[in-house]
Each structure stands twice: as structure tokens, then as C-alpha cells.
């Protein structure tokens, strides 16, 4: 497998998303090697000296005042890794774990951690050969780094812990041996350099961002279907309205919806009635709500791109100043805030989508669509309970969107007395994105059914192609049937972008600057 060469300090979101989605092997640009070696030499020198340097020749946390003899350096670092392997819960998925390993490479590659280049080469080897540490997903408070999760990663590098290799779960040393790799014996500060840092939280937050962005694009598709299905007015999409406000996301979402709906006969059939009535907010204010979510995700993207390139362990080696200095770059507050913001965007995208679903199934509001979108209501319940399911998922996401960053609790004998809670703030995003995909999947089914009830009037060519693609997997609903598989299939079509790709760029948005995600 050829490796993607990454330059520490200069990796962008599209590269990180490719690494995540395509399980790419990664190699640090060798131009970083001299600085990495200089920092390692500086740490080795400090380990032999009399001056106390935190984590190099001292204990850790509250035990920082305990001096460690030079001959015990290797034992100190090994004990650190083993004692910190206290993660619990379900393992992190393979793709996110690999992204976490890449982020650790990028951090160590900045040449400020004092970790030997051989350690980076072993992480590269694990990525290339498919040795993936088993990393329990619970145990970090995002304070002195993601200590427990990163310790489980580091344990495999020293031949301990557990790893997945060739589809099997096994002891870490066994996995390395089968892959033709050799464990490292940790030198001064190397254990600390591996487990200090925000790479677990950042990896989870990045994955949450990548998936949320895909779903934000999908809402343009589903919202357009819903608008046509209820014969909603498209006057609120006029560009002049959005230019007068000026928000980039709002302007772009309105433009995308206009492009997706262009050429709809349904739209043309009631164009003269636009001034007759104002649609509910879930139709009329789609650009304002979705656009605000898009802008929020772009802000988050900037934060996480910076964090992905950051040196976040402690202490840091300042080569030019010839100093090893303790600081707090391991504190994951920026990631915690980013995760909270992603959660808000996911919750709001789902909230307004759920109201569009409710609008379509309610005969009092849906402008002559049959109750619950079934051709024979009463005998059949149609999509009645599918809408109820979306209400449950919407509510669950609202609960999950409560901020995690404000929930600090003191740890480590009050040495770490303010923590970020970034780890579980970022981990919840996977669950929230799954919920949102299900909501949008139901909206897809409702919007398609609503448009089909408008025959012989036709929707736009782009939306017609979307419905045709949907019907290859999910048949039109006549009499009631077992619906759960249909809901899952629709959600999968949303998650994988198979329908968004049919829009031929009309529904695509750019995550930030010149960098496109997805």
C-alpha cells in the first residue's frame, strides 16, 4: 500500500477525510525528521541531568515532585502506559482509530515532543500493515490529554494491550509480530508524549464533522422534495432576500435549492399563488436555518483543522530557546467547544426536517395530500408511525445536544481541576448523526411519496432522478407493509451521498475556504 505523505503543521481537511474514509496509510514528510531528532536529543540530555524536568525525570500529575533516577527512565515510561490503560466501553471503530493514530503522527511530527523518530516509524508501520489498536471509547475527560484512550494505542506499540490484525483481535505484541513489526522500548518522555494530547477527541470530532457535513448537504435534497410535495412557495428562495441579509450559508443554501427545484411542473402550477399564503417556517425559513448550521460547521472546521496540526502534549521542547517547558496544550477546550457546536447543528437540522415530515403527513396542513401519505387511509396507516419515529429521534438529539464543555469535574487529586469533557462530547456525535440520517431518510420517503401523489404534474428533472434512484431500492408504498427495512435503506442512501451525487453539483456546498469535504 502506497502511503500518503503528510507534512506536520500543514494538513488540510480533505486529506484528513480521505485518510478516514479510504483507510490510507500515512507517512510523515521526512523534512520533519531533523527537528524531531533534535528534540529527542534534548530530552535524552535532560533525563541524564540533575534539574527536574516534568515527565522526563519526575513522576506524573500529583507525583511530579518525585524525582526519578536516570536508570529508571524506561521503566517509568512503560509503567505510565500500562497504568493508564483504564479505558472501558465499546471499542472505537477502526477508521476513527486509524485517524487518531495519524493525528498523533502529526502532533509528534511538529518536533516539539522529544519522541524519537523510530516511534513515528512504528506508527506508520502499523497504519501500513493494518495493525489497529483496540481502544475503549470511554475514560477520557479531555484534560491532560486523552490519557486512557491514547494509552491503549501506545500499549500496542510496546507489545502490550490488544490489536486487530487481518480481521482478528489479538494481543498487541502478537499483532506486531504477525505484521513483521518490532515493539519499541520507550525512552525518556516517550510514553508521556504518546498519551498526552487531544488526538482521540479530535479524531471523533472530525468524524462527527465529516458526517454532519454530508447530512447538511442531504437536507438540501430532502427539503426540496418536501417543498415540492406540499406545493410550497419558492418565493422565499429568491436571491435578493438572502443577499439583503448577507450570511454565506443562507445565500448558498437558497441558491442550491433553486437549482435543485428548477424546472418543476409542480412549482410552475402554483407560481401565481405565491403571495396567497405564507408557508410554515419549516418551509419558508429553510435557507435561514440550514444556512446557519452550515456556517456553524464551517467555523468548527477551522478549529479542528488547526487542532489536527497542533503539538498538544506536555512538556514541549522549544529547540530555539533550548528549553523544555510545561504548559497546557493538552487541554481539549477548543475541541469540546467544536463538538458542542457540531451537536447543535445536527440537532437543528433534524428539528426542522422533522417538522417538514409532520407537515406532509398531516392532512390539515399538507395541501390535499392523503392522510399519512397512504392511498387508502384508515385501512392503512401509511407513514404515520415513521413520523413518530422521527419525533423520537429529534427529541433524543435535542437531549444529546446539551453542552458537554460546561460539565467540568476535578480529577487526579485536584491537580487537573478543570477539564474539557471533549471526549464524550465528540463521541456522542456518531449517535446524533445516525439519528439525523434516519430522520432525513424518512423525509426522503415522505417527499417522494408526496410528489408522486401530485401526478400528472412532474417535479424537477433533478428531483425526478432522485426519486427514480430511491425506487430502485424502496418500492412505492401502497398497502401497509413491514417498514423498518425501508427506513434503513433510505437512511443509507442519505449517509452514502448516492442521491446527492445525482444532483450533479447543484446541491453541493464547500466546507471551508478552498477545501471541499466529501
Measuring CA to CA, which residue among 75, 280, 62 is closest to residue 191? Answer: 75
| Angstrom distances, CA of residue 388 to CA of 2, 26, 225, 383 | 48, 45, 20, 9
Residue 510 within a domain: no
Residue 445: per-residue pLDDT: 98
d(CA 164, CA 161): 11
| Domain's final residue, options 197, 221, 255 | 197
For the chain, the distance separating the N- and C-terminal CA atoms, rounded to the nearest angstrom, is: 22
Report the C-alpha gap between 478 and 471 in whole angstroms.
13
What's the maximum distance between 2 C-alpha atoms anywhere in the chain?
A: 87
Residue 497 falls in which region: left (phi positive, over 0), alpha (psi -120 to 50) or beta: left
Give a yes or no: residue 317 inside a domain: no
3-state secondary structure 438-449: HHHHHHHHHHHH
pLDDT by residue for the chain (518 residues), tens only, comes to 589 999 999 999 999 999 999 999 999 999 999 999 999 999 999 888 888 888 788 877 767 777 878 888 889 899 999 999 999 999 999 999 999 999 999 999 999 999 999 999 999 999 999 999 999 999 999 988 899 999 999 999 999 999 999 999 999 999 999 999 999 999 999 999 999 999 999 999 999 999 999 999 999 999 999 999 999 999 999 999 999 999 999 999 999 999 999 999 998 776 655 544 689 999 999 999 999 999 999 999 999 999 999 999 999 999 999 999 999 999 999 999 999 999 999 999 999 999 999 999 999 888 889 999 999 999 999 999 999 999 999 999 999 999 999 998 888 777 777 889 999 999 999 999 999 999 999 999 999 999 999 999 999 999 999 999 999 999 999 999 999 999 999 999 999 999 999 988 877 777 754 433 33
> Same structural domain for residues 262 and 397?
yes
Same domain for 168 and 209, yes or no, is no
Q: Which of 168, 197, 226 is the last residue of a domain?
A: 197
Write the DSSP assignment of 287-299 as a string of letters.
HHHHHHHHHHHHH
* 120 and 9 in a common domain: yes
Asked whether residue 489 is domain-assigned, the answer is yes
> What local confidence, expressed as pLDDT, does residue 430 receive?
98
What is the pLDDT, as a whole number, of residue 395?
Answer: 98
Q: Are residues 385 and 466 in the same domain?
A: yes
Domains contained in the chain, number: 2
Residue that is last in its domain, among 146, 176, 197: 197
Are 124 and 220 members of one domain?
no
- 240 in the same domain as 146: no
Residue 54 is a catalytic residue: yes
Q: CB of 397 within 8 A of CB of 440?
A: no
- Same domain for 181 and 239: no
Q: What is the CATH number of the domain that holds 238?
A: 1.20.200.10
Query: Does the bond joining 121 to the residue before it have cis omega, within 30 degrees of 0?
Result: no
Query: Strands of 168-171's sheet, edge to edge?
Result: 132-133, 162-165, 168-171
3-class SS of residue 33: helix
168 and 295 share one domain: no
Q: Tell me: do 72 and 35 sit in the same domain.
A: yes
Q: Domain of 77: which CATH number?
A: 1.10.275.10
Can you tell me the distance from the alpha carbon of 374 to that of 380, in angstroms, rounded to the nearest whole number?
Answer: 7
Q: Do 101 and 154 meet the contact criterion of CB atoms below 8 Å apart?
A: no
Q: How far apart are CA 57 and CA 45, in angstroms?
A: 11
Question: What pLDDT score was predicted for residue 72?
Answer: 86
Clarify whether residues 498 and 379 are in a common domain.
yes
Residue 139 inside a domain? The answer is: yes
| Residue 186 domain boundaries | 4-197
Asked whether residue 383 is assigned to any structural domain, the reply reads yes
d(CA 74, CA 189): 9
- Show Cβ contacts of residue 353 under 8 Å, excluding neighbours closer than 6 positions: 219, 222, 223, 390, 436, 439, 440, 443
- Out of 54, 200, 213, 337, which one is annotated catalytic? 54
Q: What's the CA gap between 148 and 138, in Å, rounded?
A: 8
Domain check: are 185 and 243 in the same one?
no
* Co-location of 22 and 96 in the same domain: yes
**What distance in Å separates the CA atoms of residue 275 and residue 279, rounded to the nearest whole number?**
10
| Backbone φ/ψ region at 160: left (φ over 0), alpha (ψ -120 to 50), beta | beta
User: What's residue 366's pLDDT?
Assistant: 85
Measured distance CA(291)–CA(311) in Å, rounded: 33
Q: Is 334 a member of any domain?
A: no
CA–CA separation, 27 vs 121, rounded Å?
A: 8
Residue 339 lies in a domain: no
| Helix (H/G/I), strand (E/B), else coil: 66 | coil
Domain assignment present for residue 188? The answer is: yes
- pLDDT reported for residue 73: 85
Q: What is the dihedral of CA 53, 56, 57, 61, to 10 degrees?
A: 80
The closest of 421, 317, 250, 388 to 108, measured between CA atoms, is 317
Amino acid at each position: 500500500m502506497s502511503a500518503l505523505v503528510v507534512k506536520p503543521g500543514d494538513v488540510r481537511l480533505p486529506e484528513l477525510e480521505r485518510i478516514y474514509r479510504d483507510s490510507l496509510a500515512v507517512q510523515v514528510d521526512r523534512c520533519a525528521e531533523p527537528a524531531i531528532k533534535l528534540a529527542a536529543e534534548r530530552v535524552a540530555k535532560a533525563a541524564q541531568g540533575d534539574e527536574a524536568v516534568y515527565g522526563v525525570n519526575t513522576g506524573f500529575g500529583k507525583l511530579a515532585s518525585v524525582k526519578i533516577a536516570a536508570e529508571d527512565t524506561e521503566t517509568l515510561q512503560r509503567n505510565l502506559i500500562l497504568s493508564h490503560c483504564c479505558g472501558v466501553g465499546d471499542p472505537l471503530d477502526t477508521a476513527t482509530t486509524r485517524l487518531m493514530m495519524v493525528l498523533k503522527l502529526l502532533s509528534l511530527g511538529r518536533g516539539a515532543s522529544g519522541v524519537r523518530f523510530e516511534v513515528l516509524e512504528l506508527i506508520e508501520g502499523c497504519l501500513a500493515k493494518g495493525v489497529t489498536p483496540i481502544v475503549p471509547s470511554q475514560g477520557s475527560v479531555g484534560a491532560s490529554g486523552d490519557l486512557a484512550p491514547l494509552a491503549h494505542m501506545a500499549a500496542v506499540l510496546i507489545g502490550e494491550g490488544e490489536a486487530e490484525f487481518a480481521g482478528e483481535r489479538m494481543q498487541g505484541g502478537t499483532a506486531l509480530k504477525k505484521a513483521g513489526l518490532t515493539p519499541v522500548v520507550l525512552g525518556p518522555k516517550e510514553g508521556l508524549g504518546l498519551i498526552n494530547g487531544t488526538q482521540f477527541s479530535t479524531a471523533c470530532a472530525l468524524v462527527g464533522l465529516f458526517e454532519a457535513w454530508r447530512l447538511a448537504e442531504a437536507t438540501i435534497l430532502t427539503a426540496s422534495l418536501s417543498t415540492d410535495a406540499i406545493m410550497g412557495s419558492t418565493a422565499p428562495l429568491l436571491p435578493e432576500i438572502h443577499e439583503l441579509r448577507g450570511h454565506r450559508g443562507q445565500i448558498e443554501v437558497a441558491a442550491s435549492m433553486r437549482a435543485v427545484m428548477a424546472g418543476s411542473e409542480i412549482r410552475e402550477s402554483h407560481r401565481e399563488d405565491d403571495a396567497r399564503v405564507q408557508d410554515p417556517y419549516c418551509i419558508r425559513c429553510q435557507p435561514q436555518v440550514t444556512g446557519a448550521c452550515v456556517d456553524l460547521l464551517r467555523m468548527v472546521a477551522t478549529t479542528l483543522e488547526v487542532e489536527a496540526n497542533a503539538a498538544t502534549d506536555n512538556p514541549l521542547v522549544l529547540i530555539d530557546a533550548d528549553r523544555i517547558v510545561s504548559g497546557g496544550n493538552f487541554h481539549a477546550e477548543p475541541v469540546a467547544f467544536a463538538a458542542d457546536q457540531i451537536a447543535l447543528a445536527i440537532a437543528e437540522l433534524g428539528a426542522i426536517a422533522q417538522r417538514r415530515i409532520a407537515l406532509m403527513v398531516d392532512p390539515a396542513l399538507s395541501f390535499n395530500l392523503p392522510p399519512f401519505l397512504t392511498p387508502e387511509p384508515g385501512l392503512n396507516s401509511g407513514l404515520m408511525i415513521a413520523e413518530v419515529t422521527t419525533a423520537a429521534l429529534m427529541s433524543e438529539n435535542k437531549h444529546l445536544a446539551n453542552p458537554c464543555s460546561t460539565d467540568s469535574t476535578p480529577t487526579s487529586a485536584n491537580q487537573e481541576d478543570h477539564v474539557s469533557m471533549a471526549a464524550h462530547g465528540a463521541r456522542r456525535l456518531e449517535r446524533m448523526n445516525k439519528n439525523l440520517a434516519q430522520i432525513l431518510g424518512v423525509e426522503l420517503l415522505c417527499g417522494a411519496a408526496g410528489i408522486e401523489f401530485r401526478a400528472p404534474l412532474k417535479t424537477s428533472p433533478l428531483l425526478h432522478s432522485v426519486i427514480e434512484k430511491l425506487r430502485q431500492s424502496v418500492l412505492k408504498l401502497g398497502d401497509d407493509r413491514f417498514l423498518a427495512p425501508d427506513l434503513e435503506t433510505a437512511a443509507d442512501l442519505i449517509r452514502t451521498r448516492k442521491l446527492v451525487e445525482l444532483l450533479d453539483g447543484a446541491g453541493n456546498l464547500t466546507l471551508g475556504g478552498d477545501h471541499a469535504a466529501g
